[in-house]
Structure 1
Amino acid sequence: MSLKIRLARAGSKKRPYYHIVVADARSPRDGRFIEAIGSWNPLMPKDSAERVKLDADKAKAWMEKGAQATDRVARFLDAAGVTKRDARSNPKKAEPGAKAKERAALAQQKAEAAAAASE
């Protein structure tokens, strides 16, 4: 049985509220879970202490039993000091695309031509 520590949506339409739960990976998002270990209210201010409530001891215990946290929950656990999340780095994503490189080269040629013409 593959265990996940993940979010289960609650709340009403356009008013999200999430429970942080330990569940079998095969169960539906809002379906059966083993244990609720916290909650997240994304509508609260980011600096509010009530935004994320998490039982760190239970999370640690479940992770020792083999449960894996999803990306969002891993962020919460990292902020709580339970686990260390590796920073993602994709320097290729920030690189401009082929068309943007062509436009930049064309703009540079025009600038050089204008500078040469003004001299």
Structure 2
Amino acid sequence: MGLKIRLARGGSKKRPYYHVVIADVRSPRDGRFIERLGYWNPMLPKDDAARVSLNQERIQHWLDHGALPTDRVARFMAEAGMMTRDARSNPNKAQPGKKAQERAAEKKQKEEDAAAAAAEAASAPAEAPAEATAE
């Protein structure tokens, strides 16, 4: 039986409240669970002490019995000093997609060509204006 330490949503619509529970991986998110291990209230300010509460003894008990925390619960446990968690960062997340990069490269190329043409026109000797010889 695979066990997960995960969040079960409670609260009303647009007012979420989560219980940290130990549950079988096959049970639904808000369905049957084995034990409640804490809570998380995302509506409270981040610096509020009552935002996250974890029963560290029971969580350690379930970790010893092979339970795995979800990513969000692992973050809470790392903040509480119960475990170490590698920081995840995706430096490519903010990069535009392939099509947008191609469009940007084309635009840059057109600007460079226009700048080169303007520089070439400025460096070429100016032709004398044609004088009226029809006198």
Aligning the two structures, in what range does the TM-score lie when normalised by the shorter sequence?
0.7 to 0.9
Aligned to 1:2: 2
State the Cα distance separating 1:115 from its structure 2 match.
Answer: 1.7
The one-letter code sitting in structure 2 at the alignment partner of 1:58 is: R
| Alignment partners' CA distance in 1, 2:104 and 2:47 | 41
**Partner of residue 74, structure 1:** 74
Farther off after superposition, 45-54 or 87-96: 87-96
Calculate the TM-score normalised by the size of structure 2.
0.77
**Bigger shift: residues 85-94 or 51-60:** 85-94
Quote the offset at 1:81 in angstroms. 1.3
Which entry has the higher C-alpha Rg, 1 or 2?
A: 2
Q: In structure 2, what is the Cα distance between the partners aligned to 1:81 and 1:105?
A: 47
Gaps of 5+ in 1: none
Structure 1 counterpart of 2:9, one-letter code: R
Map 1:1-119 → 2, pairs under 5 A: 1-119=1-119
Structure 2 unmatched runs, 5+ = 120-135
How far the C-alpha of 1:102 sits from its partner, in A, is: 1.4
CA RMSD of aligned residues (A): 1.8
State the TM-score, normalizing by the size of structure 1: 0.87
| 1:34 positional shift | 1.7
Q: Report deviation, 1:95.
A: 4.2
Aligned-partner Cα distance in 2 for 1:89–1:42: 22
Percent identity between matched residues is: 65
Higher mean displacement: 59-68 or 83-92: 83-92
**How many Å apart are 1:108 and its aligned residue?**
1.4
